Amino acid sequence: MDLQRTTECEGALVSDDNNSLTVRDNRTGKEYDIPIADGTIKAADLGAIKLNDDEPGLATYDPGFVNTASTKSAVTFIDGDKGILEYRGYPIEQLAEKSNFLEVAYLLVYGELPTKEQYDSWVHEITYHTFVHENVKGFMQGFRYDAHPMGMLMASVGALSTFYPEAKNIHDPENRHIQIVRMISKMPTLGAWAFRHAQGKPYVYPDNELSYTENFLSMLFKMSELRFEADPRLVKALDVLFILHADHEQNCSTNAVRSVGSSQVDPYSAVAAGVGALFGPLHGGANEAVLRMLRRIGSKENIPAFIEGVKNGNEKLMGFGHRVYKNFDPRATIIKKACDDVFEVTGVNPLLAIAQELEKIALEDEYFIKRRLYPNVDFYSGLIYEAFQFPPEMFTVLFAIGRTPGWLAQWLELTQDTEQKIARPKQIYTGDRKLTFVPASERWK
């Protein structure tokens, strides 16, 4: 499309299409009409704006993609101002209350709620692919005794690509389906074995008679009993936590999965990249920081002094604030309820009282009100995980298991999106140019 037009003073036609942006390049006096669609302009359209034909056109500079849409997606909708999170159009509150993780996984991956037959076959498939090749067990056992479980998870999920080399046939729908099933099935096995490894305990094989979440708890905690029976309230709470973490549109790890997946590599390698991104403290690690903070505060009496410190800019109130949610994080409300259910079984974590008081004080304080800072999903999730007796290193592994269907739904969407290209951002080069190389033998004389 030819976007360039002459300036108004030169008598240019004004476009009657209101759905466009008129840009005037003051360097040349030229004006350009750039179409607007879905509240965006195409960055490539800016390429037509140039000083002369020999120069590259205008580009945008957007570190961290704060205002750049990298894809069209029909998976997850978020309205941060209104506190709305929907998977495929269904509100998170309804899914957390009335659905279960595997049904939500199906919904995310295939875009619609399953029929009874589809659901039964999906659950059957996921349940019967939970075992991994014995060699996977062998190499997991080769990790150092104190290996971080996220490192083990990242390596082992990536290694699955070597067990299923056909996974590289990403344009074959049947093949894509089986790899998706395998990954959702095997992530709990790998995560649980990473946990057992750190404890020096034998790995527990999957029990296919159990539900997805029950089986995961069994692989984590089973000792000599014939069958591990988890309290149904704990099973439900963990299932809800998986649902809450299942997708969150183009976050850092999903972007990593899409970026790596855009090279058309197999999905195990793409998801391994997502696990790596989630490992970082800015993404998956905030709930651990909340626990450290609550422990440091130690008792309710110390809260006012702590809040003063936050207001003076000495530190942050961890678990508060969100880049997208500016009124409330809908997931935090659901987690608070799950907290009550879990503590009914495990007994109350003494840190809960501090957390609740801290939340109450902060929500009434002008500093937090003015900045629209509310509890986020991480404020209470660490307390729940601790009640399950998970060490903090496991928190992100739980997040990764929950996020796997979301990563795969986004990956599947990517493989079928004809507008996608290999991810390859531009840069603004700031280094030297055209230096003359002097060999070391002369430089070091």
Ligand X SMILES: CC(C)(COP(=O)(O)OP(=O)(O)OC[C@H]1O[C@@H](n2cnc3c(N)ncnc32)[C@H](O)[C@@H]1OP(=O)(O)O)[C@@H](O)C(=O)NCCC(=O)NCCS
Active site residue 378: yes
293 part of the interface to ligand X, by CB under 6 A: no
Of all helices (H) and strands (E), which one includes residue 152? helix 149-163
217 part of the interface to ligand X, by CB under 6 A: no
The DSSP secondary-structure symbol of 22 reads E
d(CA 24, CA 8): 10
Burial class, 400, CB count within 10 angstroms (exposed 0-12 / middle 13-18 / buried 19+)? buried
Burial class, 64, CB count within 10 angstroms (exposed 0-12 / middle 13-18 / buried 19+)? exposed
For ligand X, how many residues bind (rule: CB under 6 A)?
15
- Binding part of the chain for ligand X, among 64-72, 214-222, 376-384, 416-424 by CB under 6 A, reads 376-384
d(CA 148, CA 150): 5
Q: Which residue in 274, 276, 284, 321 binds ligand X (CB under 6 A)? A: 321
Q: Which residue in 377, 397, 409, 414 binds ligand X (CB under 6 A)? A: 377
d(CA 312, CA 310): 5
User: By C-beta, is 206 or 321 nearer to ligand X?
Assistant: 321
At closest approach, how far in Å is the CB of 216 from ligand X? 23
Q: Which of 393, 412, 411, 414 shows the shortest CA–CA distance to 153? A: 393
Q: Which residue in 351, 373, 383, 414 binds ligand X (CB under 6 A)? A: 373
73 part of the interface to ligand X, by CB under 6 A: no
Active site residue 54: no
240 part of the interface to ligand X, by CB under 6 A: no
101 part of the interface to ligand X, by CB under 6 A: no
> Which one from 45, 266, 322, 329 is the annotated catalytic residue?
322
- Binding part of the chain for ligand X, among 22-30, 120-128, 159-167, 321-329 by CB under 6 A, reads 321-329
Q: Which residue in 104, 219, 317, 387 binds ligand X (CB under 6 A)? A: 317
Alpha helices in 262-377 (DSSP H): 267-279, 286-297, 303-311, 330-346, 351-363, 366-370
Amino acid at 11: G
> Which one from 45, 239, 266, 378 is the annotated catalytic residue?
378
Q: Which of 135, 151, 101 shows the shortest CA–CA distance to 397? A: 151
Per CB under 6 A, residues contacting ligand X are: 286, 310, 316-323, 371, 373, 376-378
Report the catalytic residues: 322, 378
